[in-house]
Chain A
C-alpha cells in the first residue's frame, strides 16, 4: 500500500488567494483526519470524517476553512481567503476503526502564505 498521499507537498501563495489541499487515504480505512502543525500550537485536529461524513469540525479555525470528502478515496481542505497566520504544515491521516486504532499520516503539505 502506498500509504496516505497528500498533495501538493509545498504550497506558497499570497494572502487572499484560495488554497486547496488534497488527500488520498489508505484504501479501506473508514476514518479520515485533518491536522495542522505549527511550532507554537503543536498538532491541532481540524476536522474528522467517518465513512465520508464529517463528524466534528469544531477544530476548524474559522469559516475560511472548509473540508469535503466526496468519496472514500479523496478529501480536500480548502482555505479561502488565505492569511499569513494560516502558514503551517497540514497533515491528513486515516485509520481503520477510529480513535483507538493507529493513525496513518501522510507526509503533509507545507503551506506558506505571504
Chain B
C-alpha cells in the first residue's frame, strides 16, 4: 500500500523568501512522485514529476523537488516566492502496481505569500 503525508497544512512566507513544502511518502514499489498546484477555482496543474531518473527534479515556475529514498521524502522548494505562487499544493505518489489505489493524493498545503 502507498501513502503520502504533507507535513504542513498551511505555510506562510514573505515575497522573495524561500519556500519549503514538505512531503513524506510510503510505497511498496518504486514510486512515481508528483507535485501539483491548484489555484483558486481551477483544476490541478502538474508542477513536476519524479520517475526514478535524476533525484533532483526541476519543474515549472522555478520550483524543484528532491527525491530522498533514505528519508522517504519529496520536499518541494523554490528559492524566491512570488505573489502568484499563493495556491494549494498537493504531493502525489503512484505505485507501479497501478489499480484503483494507483494514485494517492496528500491532503494539500495551502501556501500563503505575505507582501
Interface on A for B, CB 8 Å cutoff? Answer: 4, 42-43, 45, 48, 56, 58-59, 91, 93, 98-100, 102-108
Contact = CB atoms under 8 A, between A and B. Distances in A.
B90 interface: yes
6 contacts: A42-B107, A56-B99, A98-B102, A99-B95, A99-B103, A106-B43
Nearest to B48: A102
A102 to B, nearest CB: 4
Contacts, number: 48
A104 B34 CA distance: 13
Nearest to B106: A42
Contact of A4 (B34, B43, B49, B99): B43
Interface residue SS majority, chain B: loop
B94 A100 contact: yes
Contacts of A99: 32, 94-96, 98, 102-103
A59 B99 CA distance: 12
A96 to B, nearest CB: 13
B74 to A, nearest CB: 15
Interface residue SS majority, chain A: loop
Nearest to A4: B43
Contacts of A106: 43
Contacts of B90: 43
B105 A43 contact: yes
Nearest to A107: B43
Which residue, A4, A98, A99, A108, has most C-beta atoms of chain B within 10 A? A99
Nearest to A6: B43
A77 to B, nearest CB: 15
Given A93-B43, A100-B32, A59 B105 contact: no
Given A4-B43, A98-B98, A99-B94, 8 more contacts: A42-B108, A99-B103, A100-B51, A102-B46, A103-B44, A105-B45, A106-B43, A107-B43
